[in-house]
Amino acid sequence: MSAMTQNPQSQTPLIHPRLALALAGTFIVQTAAALLWAGASGERLAQLERRADASSQLIERTARLEEQVYYMRATLERIEQKIDQGGD
């Protein structure tokens, strides 16, 4: 029998069914793992953004307090100068 006269149904499949099933299972597991990793990294990013927001509010409040302390010191120095000038 020559190669041209063979029955096409008698040929073996290109990929064994178990191999195809194993590849599909591996693909599904890797996809699920990638989705879980992406979700976890998204949550970590959201948490860092919340921390950064809280930090920026603290920095802003600290800057305002520093400015208020600066003006309080200037006022205190003026008061001390007036007391010193009046006590002479």
Q: What are the contacts of 82-87 at 24+ separation with CB within 8 A?
A: none
pLDDT at 37: 94
pLDDT confidence bin for 72, thresholds 50/70/90? very high
pLDDT value at 3 more than 80: no
Beta carbons within 8 Å of 12's beta carbon, 6+ residues apart: none
Instruction: Please write the tens of the pLDDT for every residue from 14-70.
Output: 778 899 999 999 999 999 999 999 999 999 999 999 988 888 889 999 999 999 999
Query: What is the spatial distance between Cα 29 and Cα 20, in angstroms, rounded to a whole number?
Result: 14
pLDDT at 24: 95
pLDDT at 82: 92
∠ Cα 68 58 45 (to 5°): 160
The two three-digit tokens of residue 4, written as one number: 């041209």
